Every structure is written in structure tokens, then in C-alpha cells.
Structure 1
Amino acid sequence: MPWQFIVTTVVIVALILLPFALLYLRRRWLTGQGGLFDCAHRVRDDTPGHGWALGVARYRGENLEWFRSFSLGLTPKLVLQRAGTTYVHQRKPEGLEAIALFADSIIVTVKDRVTGHLHTLAMSRDEVLALMSWLESAPPGSHYLPGSADSPR
């Protein structure tokens, strides 16, 4: 076998494996930052049961940061601030959602009170309880937004 064939084969195999190695290293880096858990986010609401993106999330100070699983980006794709986020409701996955999401997921809807946008997240039951506790444990008065109808007069 000529040496050029061996070198070409090694380069091709390395290029094929490189994205998987980078995804693994990214996940390890994010895990090393602390408190990472599986969390899917519904990025499109146009079709019932569709539009889910698998990801991971973590609590970072007063924020919940969400990262796509199959991305090489090191910055979160979604950041929810505790003071500006309220719990709306939760439900079990229906139809295709039960197949597309993580096993035993609960779907939670939260509202960004600054923009008014509803965010739909899917996570384990334990993580739902952690999210609700995190939202409820905000410091007193922090849920009042300046200039909002909720603000005390």
C-alpha cells in the first residue's frame, strides 16, 4: 500500500470524527461549568408537536441558559432571567412529542414578562420542580418590573 493512501485515509477518518469529538469536548466543557441538565426547547410553534430542539440547560446566577445539543457554539441560544420569567403551566407530551423528546419529559410553559413571549421547555420531572423552586425563590420584590402594571405604586 502506498503511503499516500494511508495518509489520505487517516485524514478522511479524522475529518469525519472531528465534529463528534468537538461536540463531546463542548459538552464536557459545559458540564464543567456546573449544573447541566437535559432540556428541549420548542423553537417553532407553527405545527402542533413539531419544532423541538434537543439541548441542555443550566442555572447561572439569575439566569437559565439553554444550549442546543448539536451545536458547536459556546454561548446560550436562550437566556431566561429569573426576575422576568413566570411559570404558566405544565403538561405531558402528546403524540409525536412523546417520541421526539427525552424519556419521561414534562412540558413546561414559561412567560418572559419583558417581551411577553411564551417559551416551551421539556425536561424531567425533577428538573421541573427545580425550575419552579428557582423561579419562586427570587428575592422579594424582584418580580416587579420597572414601568410594568405589576409594579407597586
Structure 2
Amino acid sequence: MVTVIVIAVAMLPFVLLYLRRRWLTGQGGLFDCAYQVDSDQGAAWVLGVARYRREQLEWFRAFSLSLRPKVVFQRVTTMYVHQRVPQGLEAIALFEGSVIVTLRDRVTGTTCALSMASDEALALMSWLESAPPGSHYLPSSADSP
């Protein structure tokens, strides 16, 4: 009896992660997407998933029980900068066949990187370019004198 309880308690986090993933998938298309986090020891990649929701791209940590996104990108203020292939240790740490997309916030000027499959990178660029008319005319740091 004690063994069954110990196994059930040990399996509970995995069951909760599975149920969270199913719930997030049911709320909209979900795709694998790693996020580059700046830390004291340099930039580190965190595995996660992302989805488009209204005028936002929401990013969730893969190994978290939170139902709220950790990072939200607003379509109006997010700008595509460039994309590249993973190099060195990135190629090992990230999803196979992924590309790294660099984004910039037009208001704050901060940049970040997302790693995703090339099809999802193309979808991200299309989503950003199809923003409502006039939304791309926000001043950016490159437009400043």
C-alpha cells in the first residue's frame, strides 16, 4: 500500500505537467519555443512553448505548473530583427532543426531571442507583418535622431 502511495506521489508532477500542456493546447495552437534568458552567468536558454492569443505571443516555461505566460510579446510593439541557426552548444541545447529569431521591443528597445522550428519562425514573421495598419509607425530607437 505504501509503495502505491509513493509511486502516485512521484507521478503527480508528471501528470500535472501533462494536464497543463493539454489545457494550453486546447486554448490555442501551441508550439515548442525556447527563450533566451539573460542571467549573471551569461545568456541561457529555457525550453518552453508558445501560442498566439489575440494580439499577443505568449511564452510558457515547459517545466512549470503555471497557467499564466512567463513572457508576453505584444504584436504592435514587437519587431523582427533577424534569424540565424544555432551555433556551438546552442545546437545541442535547443530543439533539433530550430532557428533563432531575434526580436526587439519598439518601445523599450530591449532585444530577446526565441528558438523555434523554421516553419514557426516563418509564421512569426507573417504574424508580425500582418499587424493592423498604422501599428508599425511607432517610433523605434533606430528612427531617433
Q: TM-score, normalised by structure 2?
A: 0.92
SS at match of 1:76: coil
Change (3 A) 1:60 1:13: same
Please give the alpha-carbon distance, in whole angstroms, between the structure 2 residues aligned to 1:105 and 1:41.
Answer: 12
Q: Which segment drifts farther, 113-122 or 95-104?
A: 113-122
> What code does the residue aligned with 1:73 have?
S
Structure 2 SS opposite 1:108: strand
Q: Which residue of 2 aligns with 1:44?
A: 38
CA distance in 1, matches of 2:107, 2:8: 46
Q: Which residue of 2 aligns with 1:76?
A: 69
Match of 2:12 in 1: 18
| 1:53 matched to 2:40 | no
Report how far residue 45 of structure 1 moved: 6.1
Among residues 28, 36, 39, which one is paired with 1:34 in the alignment? 28
AA matched with 2:23:
W
Aligned residues: 142
CA contact (8 A) 2:109 2:140 kept: no
SS in 2 for 1:58: strand
> Residue 16 of structure 1 aligns to a residue in which SS?
helix
Answer yes or no: is the 8 Å Cα contact 2:57–2:73 preserved in 1: yes
Query: Is the radius of gyration larger for structure 1 or structure 2?
Result: 1
In structure 1, distance between residues paired with 2:29 and 2:6: 36
Structure 1: runs of 5 or more not aligned: 1-5
Q: TM-score, normalised by structure 1?
A: 0.87
State percent identity of aligned pairs.
Answer: 67
Cα deviation, 1:24-47, whole Å, max 9, x if unaligned, reads: 000000000111000000012666
Structure with the largest fraction of strand: 2
